[in-house]
Chains A and B, each alone.
Chain A
């Protein structure tokens, strides 16, 4: 269920080549198969963004599907001078931000907020895998506490390596606002990380010793 990121955690971007541009052109002319190929190529980045934003696999799947539907309907508005992937991520971000705003009125249970989809790599051994898994869940809980725009900025920056300008374009924010949101989000993550380090780690009702990672 996971795609590893690049070496040393570098952000992964789908390399956009002439073939993709050709598929976009064909899709704009009404070829459904061409758009299906684009869905195939961009499903992981779009799903990952939705998952990092919403924290729940079923909602992420629904949001990713909706993103591609919106993109398909809005293909006429897509300008070829802009990277297609960034355009898709912008649609996904806006959809997830709207979803999170609506969720404020109908909040999910804490159990559902846990990013249970993350499974640690079993290779390092059970204890290390559990510790890594706990840290990832900790990070998931912290990121769920960020505001929708701050969370989107962090995801676009860390998972996709977008520039400030690209994030601003995707989230309809100025470059200054992006910098300020990223700064605020980092500070909040650090403070919450520090607070959670001081508490015993609890994963789905089980108390564990603080991780040694």
Chain B
């Protein structure tokens, strides 16, 4: 005997059309297997609907607040560790590069002296060149930009500085999860 459509109908959520309902009832009267299944489902369905909601032990909200505070501390520590890790990693890479350069230079002190003087001269020349470029730009800008813009510039720079310090404070000390 084929049980397929009847088994499907037994577990449908929505009500069946009258004709299908009649066919199902006919089948159930002649098929003990489907009858047992229908009875089992009716009983289980009844218990499913009657099972009470489970509630947590008293003090759930307080426990959640404690856990939230711990989570916030953990997030802050994670962030500090990440910043420290990044700083230490970058420091280590820079130290390695500088160390390698220093080792090669320290092998011959004369060469080191020459390179230091050469580097110092290069920097001095670069400073002079930079000053000339800035002076030329300022000459051009002085004519083009109104004077009140020049007065606002330090204010804007100071504001940006304050924002920078505040964001450093926010991210380094308070963490993201607050």
Residues of chain A at the chain B interface (Cβ within 8 Å): 1-5, 8-10, 12, 32, 36, 39-40, 43-45, 47-48, 51-52, 57, 60-61, 64-65, 68-69, 72-73, 117-118, 135-136, 139, 142, 154, 157-159, 179, 182-183, 186-187, 189-191, 193-194, 197
Contacts and interface: CB of A to CB of B under 8 A. Distances in A.
Contact of B55 (A32, A47, A52, A142): A47
A47 B52 contact: no
Contacts of A60: 54, 56
A189 B60 CA distance: 32
Given A136-B47, A183-B12, A186-B11, A51 B41 contact: no
Interface stretch (B63-71, B83-91, B105-113, B151-159): B63-71
A43 B61 contact: yes
Nearest to A115: B54
Interface string B19-63: 000000000000000001110110111111111111111001101
Nearest to B41: A190
Nearest to A135: B47
A69 B68 contact: yes
B13 interface: yes
Contacts of A12: 53
Contacts, number: 121
Nearest to A154: B48
A4 B47 contact: no
Contact of A118 (B49, B54, B67, B177): B54
B56 A158 contact: no
Size class of the B contact interface (CB-based, 8 Å): 35 or more
A157 B50 CA distance: 13
Contacts of B68: 32, 68-69, 72
A158 B48 contact: yes
Interface of B: 7-8, 10-13, 36-38, 40-41, 43-57, 60-61, 63-65, 67-68, 71, 177
A5 B53 CA distance: 6
A194 to B, nearest CB: 4
A73 B37 CA distance: 46
A183 B55 CA distance: 28
A190 B44 contact: yes
Contact of B177 (A9, A45, A73): A73
A48 B55 contact: yes
B10 to A, nearest CB: 8
Contacts of B43: 193
B13 A182 contact: yes
A189 B53 contact: no
11 contacts: A1-B55, A3-B53, A12-B53, A44-B56, A61-B60, A118-B54, A154-B48, A183-B8, A193-B41, A194-B37, A197-B40
Contacts of B8: 183
Q: Which 8 A-B pairs have the closest CB atoms?
A: A9-B49, A190-B41, A186-B11, A194-B40, A47-B56, A51-B54, A193-B40, A3-B53
A68 B64 contact: yes
B55 A44 contact: yes
Contact of B54 (A32, A47, A68, A72): A47
